[in-house]
Amino acid sequence: MTRKEFIEQVGIGAAALLIPGCFGACKKTSNSTSTSSSVDFTISVASGALATNGGYLIQNGVIIARTMAGAFIAVSATCTHAGGTLQYASSTNDFTCPVHGAAFDTSGNVINGPASTPLQKYITTLTGTSLRVHS
């Protein structure tokens, strides 16, 4: 074996060792992205803001409101215009952004600009006093 042949053989071997490591790193990045976009958590509504009609709170990036009729609704807490943190207005049963005045209905649809993109809406399931919020 010549010196040139030896270097070529070692180079191919090193590349073969590095390729699986690269695929592993790429896979981890993909998994972390999908985890951060999913929502699935449970909170108690026995006490606190959600114990009474008209109350709301923000948890895990989700604004959860209890309407005056007693229904639970949940949407993304971040305004789609420029990232303001939303509030729930029980008197008008909608979500408002204090930054520039956007408003969203209980399904997350825009009812007042400047936002033009709807909010992500989440499913709420009440079991006893435990409320599950999920995608």
Burial class (CB in 10 A: 0-12, 13-18, 19+), 111: middle
H or E segment and range at residue 14: helix 3-37
Question: Rule CB under 6 A: is residue 131 a binding residue for ligand FES?
Answer: no
Question: Rule CB under 6 A: is residue 118 a binding residue for ligand FES?
Answer: no
Question: Rule CB under 6 A: is residue 79 a binding residue for ligand FES?
Answer: yes
Q: Which residue, 87 or 134, is less far from ligand FES as judged by CB? A: 87
Across-strand partners of 88?
95
Question: Rule CB under 6 A: is residue 134 a binding residue for ligand FES?
Answer: no
SS3 for 31?
Answer: helix
Question: Rule CB under 6 A: is residue 58 a binding residue for ligand FES?
Answer: no
Supply angle C-alpha 45, 47, 48, rounded to 5: 95
Q: Which residue, 96 or 124, is less far from ligand FES as judged by CB? A: 96
Question: Rule CB under 6 A: is residue 84 a binding residue for ligand FES?
Answer: yes
